Structure 1
Amino acid sequence: MIQCTAKPSLASLFVALTLLAGGIGHAHAAGRADATSKPPNILFIVLDDIGIDQFRTFGYGGLTPPAMPNIDRIADAGVHFRNTWSMPACSVSRSVFFTGRFPLRTNLYAALGPDDLANSMLSPWETTLPKLLKERDYESALFGKFHIGLQGNNPFGDRMPASLGWDYFSGWLDETGDPSSIDTTAGGVGPQGTYACGYVPGARDGGADAGACYSGDGSCRVMAGTGPNPPGRACRDSGGIFDPEEVCRQPRPSYIDFNLMSAHYVSPLVINRPHGVVRRLPLTDVRARTYRGSVPVDAAIEWIEQRAGDKPWMATVSFATVHTPLQAPPLHLLAPDARDTNALDCSAVGAFPILSNQMIEALDTEVGRLLLETGIVKRRRRDGALRYNPENTDTMLVIVNDNGSLGYTVKQPFDGARSKGTVYQTGVWTPLIVAGPLVEEPGREVTHMTNIADLYELFGELAGIDVHERVPRTLDSMPMLPYLVDPMQDSIRQWNFTQIGLNLQADGALNGPCQFANSCSHIPVTKGVCEDNGGVWFGQGADGFSDGVPIPSEGFTYCCEVQQWLTEQVPPQDTVDILPQSGVAIRNDTFKLVRNNTKDYDPTTNACVDSESDELYEIDEARPVPKLDTEEAMLDEPFTSVQQANYDALSDQLAVILSSQPPCSGDGNIDGVVDIRDLVAYRALRWLSRGTSSWYDLDLNGLTNSADAATVRQNLGTICSK
């Protein structure tokens, strides 16, 4: 049975939504296109952790590039944007392209975790893309990964997508926003740690070639076989639990557990329908047990096929591929000669490049299916490749990735030590492809700088909306449509910007330290996420060892404290570099300035020290070997006159950006003034949040209470500068 969530009631929710979102989304067709004509449909495909280093179509991919024939075909029929920056982490990038606003404006600085406050989640007062496009009568849906809010500290809970304007949502609202750890019991049939990839492999690899396959609907069938798709894997891929070397029994054995989540194969699927109806599917539902690379495509196809022809639509298909923990995809999504991965240990970082390639290739297969079954592509050519004629469609197609590749999967010559989670090139240089009927001279490249914030403006341009006129707060987006319609368009951006930091937690807390082979980081949001990424958890609840020495269970607050502890062991253990707690980067056409802030470790005094560093690099997008901001490439002082001039100009521009969002205490609804509407909204959110985290938790203690109301009253009449 599909279960409906009960609290808060639908009626009360929509009272709150109407109050909270007042003034947002009124019909107002101000734009650059003819507001009387039907604008194009938009299919927005968001990739996860697949940096530009993986793409042959952009000239990279290293020695073992994943095959992406369908995405390559789209790129060949559209425009490659070869010089696009994302933010360094998934939640941050999604916030930026859904609002057109840099992290310093939304307080969403890093991948969200369960301890982050609503203050670092996307606010219901933001003019998100679905709210913006509603002005031109667009219907908007989001499928797959959400991760711009987490229900633990968000007053709207499972209704977060509806609160941000989506008419329909079908996707995952995981506890951490990303796939859970792999269930190494394979559904309860083995002790913890038995099945590293979440399924029972064949007998050759320590499993079984026959057994009973139980389904969530209560049925069971006996499965047997050998080869690259053993019955345990085939059963798991169909949504079942495989009991090795057993026959079907009724009732099924008590150890068979359909309530165990497992990374990319068993997920908490949530559906938001119009008018506030929310359903969280039980984990026995086959849709909650479908491979994450397929389930958003299934849902998107169904929704798009149901759209009426008189209304434009925007469908965002947001993949979780290739976010850790990595698992091999179903074999039917891979080429017949794909490598047999059944003997791999999915927890071993040495297996990550192989699994990553296969997951990307499976994603490409599903992108092709999405286009075929929605009619955007009519048929395949004789050689099996897509036959894509964008001029014959009414749909603009945009493909972008959220941040750089995970370090273990980075392709040469990119820098795995300065990848996802950092503001260096490998962490933020992302592929962007745009295709569709508005593209003039398809098959070309744009080498001018673009930022994922500009996608917000592009979608506004496609709909005929002037976003800077429409949105009553600071936007960081710049036009993109001119690049599509004019092959000779000059550069619009003169600089580019990216940012990462620490999200807001109650009373200034932060994620615990996670130690990798060569670095320590506060990016992993929980112990499980740390270990899924090949790290050792040194935060609260640590239960691991370092060179045979037990890590104190109370853990440490900072990575620098971990290095102190390592030095104090007998004999002393090796320390590692500490990744910055926050970083920004800005560039022009040829130079890049990186500024990192770190609570660092000083080995000379065995102490934690606050440090800030500025680093200048010369960069380009040459292929196959671009000029990257590696450690060896940092320019030394004294700079040449050209280098100094660029450093000064970039420093000045960075100062302008960082000072462009002055604080405005009490303005919880971000309308630029503290007034009676803030008191009304405070009361609504206090009720909706039950007095816990909300955007009116102004003192950031995890509570929405009378102290916050007092702050609003003290600041009544304040007008905030834009």
Structure 2
Amino acid sequence: MTIRTSLLTATCAVTVLATAPFAVAQEKPIIRDAEYRILERQHGDRWTAEDTEIDAKLAELRENNGGKPPNILYILLDDIGFGEFGMPDLDVIRGYSTPEISKFAEQGMSMMRMYSEPSCTPTRVAMITGRHPVRTGFDEAKAVPEGEGLAAGEVTIAEILSDVGYATAHIGKWHMGDIEQSYAINQGFDYAEHPIHQQAQLALMNTTALNEGHISGVDMRLRSDELMLDDTFRIDPFAMVYNIVGEKGGKPREVGMEPGQKFSQDDYLAMGQRYQDKTLEQLEQMAAGDKPFFLQYWPLIPISFTRTDIEQAQTLNGGPIAEAIVNIDTYVGEILDRVDELGIAENTVVVIMGDNGPFMEFVDRSGQSDRIYRGGKTEHLEGGVRVNAFVRWPEVIEAGSRVKDITHVSDLFTTFARLGDAEAGIPRDRIIDGVDQLPLWLKGETYGRRDYVFIYEGFVLKSLVKQQFKMHLPPPGGNPILASMYDLYKNPREDRPQDSIQVGVGFGANFSLMAQRHLGMKKQYPDQAPGHGELYGGIENLRPETKALVENIMFGQSLTAGSE
């Protein structure tokens, strides 16, 4: 595996992570960031007592379920900011409703201070590895062919759960790379079906969206052969791999595209329906099996940019994404109903959440807004990283509860590992940022185990959250006096920074130390590079136009590397 130094740790020596998921001795403690260790020092005795109580509860639940840990169903919705679903009072203000998810929220716990990463790929990487994405070399969404992806040396929650006997499946958006080692079937999933790239290709570059003028510069019909010498500079979106399906240990195949075919909005919607149907199919198969299961469903919709499929608006809002949010609510309702029909609800932990804030470039016509929090996708502002998140475990997690404890998407990695009695699989040779939040889920508010979040934009640390306060950091190398601090209860939109004297006298120095500790640990545990390899490697049935695309991109990368 080729290793390159990330921008943030250019001066640090890079070490290669173990390629075997469980190569290190698991009796060692999990390596934690400094802020967690500060909290652990203050609350360790109480946490140990709580853990003893929780372990006894988990053992009792397993015994009542034939010795098996619970199933886990994780649904991650794309580009839906805080208040866009599952909160009826806010939904009605925006002119639509999400009754199925709202009902689900009342059956479980609402995590009111869940932080994601600012965009799709980083959130997914944080969840599946339990690590800030910069630690894995990811700084942005993986939207175009690059020959890059999640490295084989990263340990995923699917690998950890699979190692202790879980059946695992992933359906829908993946967005973590276009090389063989990064496909879901090579990252711990027994079965997977997913696009290689994401909706920028499928929803924004389809023929319908191009004809409606939603994006320019990619429509291959507009080029001038007389003036354009480099035929490879503009990537043909229809040559990119569309959708793959496969099983662990095998080779994936592209499905849904024929040579020369150009996909439209109808094809995009059909793919979304296919993923819904496959999720229901996998749910039934896994429920009928003897193993506990981890089923991950990441739908494509509600991202939608065209109106051609909207004959009559079903909402007062009428925006294409608002309309699609209603559709995804129906999808989620179908899945939850099937869980009930299969008789597995009592032993199935279900988590539903968004992955980042709204696509602000399209809010004027999408039907979305940044609502309470300012900002959206790709931004460190609360509107970019605060998302709705709900968890249900009947008779175990208190129905209708709402907690204000801070949680982060990476916490799901560690919490799911504990649910599955798989903590021994968590690697001990790298920092794990995810915090076990099972005490919060089982015991309720004030039992969370984090009061801080580090927020990056790309490789740059942009904000620090501690308790109710948030510090916006100056650019790297900038004057510290340019930092600004906000009380998120008093100023949730982060538009009125506190007086600099108040900051200096109060928390300015402590925020500075918090950043220094976090960045300082990178000297011992430097950020890693992503995996690199042949674009679309291992896919058995690449189309001729895709093979040509691969050849062009890999040739260009060989020149970048300094050799042909």
> Please, what TM-score do these two structures have when normalized by structure 1?
0.57
Q: Is the aligned partner of 1:60 residue 2:90? A: yes
3-state SS in 2 of match to 1:656: helix
1:338 match: 314
CA contact 2:304–2:321 (8 Å) conserved in 1: no
Query: Are residue 139 (structure 1) and residue 167 (structure 2) matched?
Result: yes
The 1-side partners of 2:214 and 2:466 are apart by: 46
Measure how far apart 1:28 and its partner are: 10
Change (3 A) 1:106 1:667: closer
Whether 2:516 is the aligned partner of 1:638: answer no
Q: 2: distance between equivalents of 1:196 and 1:142? A: 30
Answer whether contact 2:136 2:527 (CA < 8 A) is retained.
no
CA contact (8 A) 1:79 1:444 kept: yes
Three-state SS of the structure 2 residue aligned to 1:405 is: coil
CA distance 1:296–1:613, change in 2 (3 Å): farther
**Other structure's SS at 2:297 match:** strand
| Cα offset, 1:292, TM superposition | 4.4
Q: What is the CA distance between 1:24 and its match in structure 2?
A: 1.8
Q: CA separation of 1:50/1:475 partners in 2, compared to 1, >3 Å: closer, same or farther?
A: same
Helix, strand or coil for the counterpart of 1:125? coil
1:509-533 deviations in whole A, cap 9, x for unaligned?
xxxxxxxxxxxxxxxxxxxxxxxxx
Residue type of the alignment partner of 1:427? G
Residues 110 and 389, structure 2, Cα contact 8 Å, conserved in 1: yes
Name the CA shift for 1:181/1:160 in 2 (closer, same or farther; >3 Å). Answer: same
What's 1:128 paired with?
156
In the aligned structure 1, how far is the partner of 2:201 from the partner of 2:393? 31
Taking the TM superposition and a 5 Å limit, the aligned residue runs for 1:183-332 are: 183-184=206-207, 193=211, 268-283=242-257, 290-307=269-286, 308-323=288-303, 325-327=305-307
- Shift of the 172–704 alpha-carbon distance from structure 1 to 2, 3 Å rule, reads farther
Say if 1:457 and 1:467, in contact at 8 Å, map to a contact too. no
Alpha-carbon distance between aligned partners in 2 of 1:328 and 1:102, rounded to the nearest angstrom: 39
SS at match of 2:159: helix
> In 2, Cα distance between the equivalents of 1:313 and 1:636?
52
- Cα offset, 1:660, TM superposition: 2.0
Distance 2:526 2:437 in 1: 34
Q: Cα gap change, 1:668/1:169 in structure 2, threshold over 3 Å: closer, same or farther?
A: same
* Number of the residue aligned with 1:661: 522
Give the equivalent residue in structure 2 for 1:106: 136
Larger-gyration structure (1/2): 1
Q: CA deviation at 1:479?
A: 1.5
Deviation at 1:310, TM superposition (A): 1.2
**CA–CA distance in structure 2, aligned partners of residues 363 and 88 of structure 1:** 22
Question: Whose helix fraction is larger, Structure 1's or Structure 2's?
Answer: 2
Instruction: Look up the match of 1:597.
Output: 475
2:346 is the alignment partner of 1:393: yes
The AA in structure 2 aligned to 1:24 is: P
Q: Which moved more, 1:357-366 or 1:129-138?
A: 129-138
Change in 2 beyond 3 A, CA 1:596/1:422: farther
**Distance 1:587-1:467 versus aligned 2 partners, 3 A rule:** farther
The corresponding residue for 1:473 is 430
Counterpart check, 1:585 vs 2:459: no
Superposed structure 1 runs of 4+ greater than 6 Å apart: 26-31, 194-197, 609-612, 663-670
Q: Which residue of 1 aligns with 2:69?
A: 39
- What amino acid is aligned across from residue 72 of structure 1 in structure 2? S
How far did residue 60 of structure 1 move?
3.3
Name structure 1 gaps, 5 residues minimum: 1-19, 187-191, 198-259, 341-350, 380-388, 503-581, 600-608, 621-625, 671-681, 694-698, 707-722
* Alignment equivalent of 2:510, drawn from 649, 660, 681: 649
Q: Does structure 2 conserve the Cα–Cα contact (< 8 Å) formed by 1:328 and 1:355?
A: no
Aligned to 2:79: 49
Q: Secondary structure at the match of 1:181?
A: coil
Q: Give the whole-Å Cα distance in 2 for the aligned partners of 1:128 and 1:40.
A: 18
Tell me the residue number matched to 2:20: 23
Which of residues 380, 384, 404 in structure 2 aligns to 1:427? 384
RMSD between aligned residues? 4.3
Partner letter of residue 363 of structure 1?
I
Structure 2 residue 120 is matched with structure 1 residue 86:
no
Report the CA distance between 1:181 and its aligned residue.
Answer: 2.6
SS in 2 for 1:130: helix
Per the alignment, residue 341 of structure 2 pairs with 378
Cα shift readout 1:253-304 (whole Å, capped 9, x = no counterpart): xxxxxxx979xxx992210223213110142699966434422211111122
Q: CA distance change for structure 1 residues 685 and 498 in 2, over 3 Å: closer, same or farther?
A: same
TM-fit CA distance, 1:140 = 1.2
Matched AA of 2:319? I
* DSSP-derived class of the 2:501 partner: coil
User: What residue is the counterpart of 2:221 in the other structure?
Assistant: none
- Aligned CA distance change for structure 1 residues 665 and 447 (closer, same or farther; 3 Å): closer
Report the CA distance shift for 1:134/1:611 in structure 2 as closer, same or farther (over 3 A).
Answer: same
8 Å Cα contact 1:398/1:433 also seen in 2: yes
SS at match of 2:283: helix
Hey, what's the Cα distance between the residues in 2 that align with 1:60 and 1:306? 37
Partner of 1:74, secondary structure, is: helix
Is contact 1:123–1:164 with CA below 8 Å preserved after alignment?
no
Task: Indicate whether 1:485 and 2:485 are aligned.
Answer: no
**Higher RCO structure, 1 or 2 (CA under 8 Å, sep 6+):** 2
Structure 1 residues 456 and 702, CA, compared in 2 at 3 Å: closer, same or farther?
farther
The amino acid of 1:270's aligned partner reads I
**Structure 1 SS opposite 2:83:** helix
The 3 A distance-change label for structure 1 pair 591 and 665 is closer
Partner SS, residue 54 of structure 1: coil
